[in-house]
Amino acid sequence: MKWTESLISTLREDPKEAETISHKLMLKAGLIMKVASGIYNFLPLGWKVVLKIVNIIREEMNKAGAQEVLMPILSPAELWQETGRWSFYGKEMFRVKDRQDKDFALGPTHEEVITDMVRKYVNSYRQLPQILYQIQVKFRDEIRPRFGIMRAREFIMKDAYSFDKDEENAKKSYQRMFDTYNKIFSRIGFKFRAVEADTGAIGGTSSAEFMVLADTGEETIVYCPNCDYAANVEKAEGKIEKKGGNAGEKLEKIHTPEIRTVEELANFLKLKPEDTAKTILYMADGGMIAVMMRGDREINEIKLKNAIKANELRLATAEEIVNKTKAPVGFAGPVNLKEKGIKLYIDNSVAEMETMVCGGNEKDYHYSGVKRGRDFKEDKIIDVIKIQKGDFCPKCGKELSEQKGIEVGHVFYLGDKYSKAMNATFLDEKGKSKVFVMGCYGIGVTRIAAAAIEQNYDENGIIWPVSIAPFEVVIIPVNMKYKEGTDFAFKLYEDLKEKNIDVIIDDRDVSPGVKFKDSDLIGFPIRVVIGEKNFKNGKVEVKLRKEKQAEVVEKEKVIDKIIEGLKG
């Protein structure tokens, strides 16, 4: 492509609304344009990146034997009602009525629609396994769309669904997709990690997230440098150091006026935070529960929700707390809690404490010397602490580390959650009706473009991996009026095109400074500069975007040099 015939429009200033590196650079380099909050146009350069991502995904999915389909964006409410997700999804789902007043969702995901397809077309074990996928626009009405296309309201996903006759085969399909995802993200050139993940609204029994590693990532990964354990912090298990738990042997009620935080409480009593236990009150599916953990640690609400199998979980309000416990917020504790009809869950860390300081269920009072079994009885011991760097690996026991990541893929083992709800069955070898065993597998196609930037940039702009660069090579004739130079540049442009190298020539009549700046900003992997001085010596300059130094090469050798550079 010639630059003068392209719609490329870079910005000189940093766009004000941009909150992250990739958001800023995508706007500045003219890859995307905001249409409405969380809704974007892909401009030609940005869309080329997405198409390259799509191609890689499609090739690898097809190689894995998956078959591509397309399901509609408008999906009828009746299907969502079969699984109960029409009400479960809430405001995050865009909903439309047609002219006959029928309800549709703008598909945020397609489990219901694909299960409906398969229950219609697959009726024998002979037709299994099936892995079906689509690359389609998806919709989520996020409360706070942000970071450009990273968390948009309209975006492109590759979503795949596997159907098997039993668990054993379903696990094979899951593994096949897991391996395919590794291939896809490797081909793109990502530094990434597959981590254990929570299953969230999709459900199912196990799942893994593929995380692109980047300091700017929204997600926290806990991993073990010693073994292969890695998990999203939302899901991470692990052992924490046994500390403290010595708050005297005798139960004593202590007046603690104006004490608000765990630290203040520990100081006041000349104890350590790990000698205290905090009790938090939640509303779980409508009823109040109390959860205790060691005073120096934070709770992981996702682990809590899963541990107690709650559909809806939220902190109790001040009003609810006063009504139920007669004490204001901040003084909840386990002693005499049962009498108030509140179920008590305690974390492993609390189970290990000898004695502890707890809230007194009365304004400005705490108990010290509280002993489990003697002074309170829990309903259940669970694991709800947020795991962090320095805790111990649940697999090998060594110390855990942390890093930041961006989720670009997610694989779920679903089991029969959807097939059972939708009565999706086939006949097995013995002629018996069975429900399909399913998996589902998502990749955030447009998000990959943003994640690639978060992982690859410098102060001048984007540094695209060759695999998904909008153009692989940019040719810059420094001075358009220097005929020998531009002739060579155009000849090189044609030669590269012939070799199927994706090349753009910057044939604008602007200063070299502008050309260099734009080329760095957009981030083409290889830049070839044809300047008068070098060219008179039979030479041109080749620079890899990811390297600091340019190289001056014989003009006859430039194509070899480019091919070498593209191989990475």
Residue ranges that bind a copy of itself, judged by CB under 8 A:
1, 4-7, 9, 30, 33, 35-36, 39-44, 47-48, 50-51, 65, 67-76, 91, 94-96, 98-99, 102, 104, 106, 113, 116-118, 120-122, 126-127, 130, 132, 137, 139, 141, 143, 153-154
Report, in Å, the least distance between residue 158 CB and a copy of itself: 14
* 48 vs 324 by CB, closer to a copy of itself: 48
Report, in Å, the least distance between residue 155 CB and a copy of itself: 10
511 CB-side CA count, 13 A:
3
Give the pairing of strands 551-554 and 39-42. unpaired
Give dist(CA 64, CA 44) in Å, integer: 30
Report, in Å, the least distance between residue 495 CB and a copy of itself: 19
- The contacts of residue 276 (CB under 8 Å, 6+ apart) are 247, 262, 265, 266, 294, 295, 296, 356, 357, 358
* 276 vs 446 by CB, closer to a copy of itself: 446
* 44 vs 248 by CB, closer to a copy of itself: 44
Report, in Å, the least distance between residue 436 CB and a copy of itself: 13
* 126 vs 255 by CB, closer to a copy of itself: 126
Q: Are 471 and 506 in contact (CB under 8 A)?
A: no
Report, in Å, the least distance between residue 50 CB and a copy of itself: 7
Give dist(CA 240, CA 393) in Å, integer: 9
Give dist(CA 519, CA 470) in Å, integer: 11
Give dist(CA 38, CA 142) in Å, integer: 8
213 CB-side CA count, 13 A:
15
End-to-end CA distance of the chain: 23
- Could you tell me how far CA 5 lies from the centroid of its own chain? 37
* 113 vs 382 by CB, closer to a copy of itself: 113
Report, in Å, the least distance between residue 93 CB and a copy of itself: 10
Report, in Å, the least distance between residue 43 CB and a copy of itself: 6
3-state secondary structure 482-516: CHHHHHHHHHHHHHHHHCCCCEEECCCCCCHHHHH
* 342 vs 449 by CB, closer to a copy of itself: 449
* 341 vs 431 by CB, closer to a copy of itself: 431
Smallest CA-to-CA distance from 412 within 162, 218, 81 is with: 162
> Look-up: residue for tokens 């000349």?
270
Q: At what angle do helices 445-455 and 21-28 cross, to 10 degrees?
A: 100
Report, in Å, the least distance between residue 52 CB and a copy of itself: 12
Q: Are 165 and 426 in contact (CB under 8 A)?
A: yes
The answer for 3, left when phi > 0, alpha when psi is -120 to 50, beta otherwise, is alpha
* 114 vs 558 by CB, closer to a copy of itself: 114
Report, in Å, the least distance between residue 195 CB and a copy of itself: 30
* 116 vs 472 by CB, closer to a copy of itself: 116
* 8 vs 266 by CB, closer to a copy of itself: 8
| Rounded alpha-carbon distances, angstroms, from residue 493 to 264, 505, 552 | 70, 7, 18
Give dist(CA 296, CA 278) in Å, integer: 9
Report, in Å, the least distance between residue 68 CB and a copy of itself: 6
